[in-house]
Amino acid sequence: MWRRLATAAVSAITFSGLWAAFPATLSQAAAPAAEVIVVGGSPLGAITSSPPALAPAFAQTTHDYIVRCQTGANAITFTLTAASGTIQVNGQSGATATVNLSLVENQPVDVQAPDPAAPSGPPTHYWIRCLPHDFPAITVLAGDRHDNHNSRNVIIRVIGVIPESSNFLLRSGRLLPC
């Protein structure tokens, strides 16, 4: 359960309006066009990247991921693994396929793969974002000292960016300063 809450919290910060509260170099940078990886065959059982590592670790039900990028071009190798059987990617066919991309900060990757819940239906999308080098570290905590660790609340601590309001509460899907 905490993994789901942590993933939701990081996704909420990374892809929501809170992004605009970070320094102008982060929030105003134009996002380059998405790289698209089309996967045929089996649903995916894993996606990994190196360097840097994909976060969080791949799960078929999680659709938003990051890789922490550096300034300039980042040569990243994505390894896609079939849940069972084989996959087809860019002319490769087998249990695994590799895709080498050069990404810049803020550039998304859209991995379009068969949906595990309905493999013959429309594809599912796994989004991977090349997170800027100066994006702050984020810590997700369950509850806080003020609500006696209420399991419905998640505290998000953003380190080194907004000292006067560096903690946010994720409550009912909304981010609130605390």
Mean pLDDT by 10 residues, the chain (178 residues): 48 46 48 94 97 95 94 97 97 98 96 96 96 81 52 62 56 62
Go through the chain and tell me how many residues it has: 178
Q: What is the pTM of this model?
A: 0.70
- Residue pair 66/131 in contact (Cβ under 8 Å)? The answer is yes
| Helix, coil or strand: residue 4 | helix
- What pLDDT sits at residue 137? 73
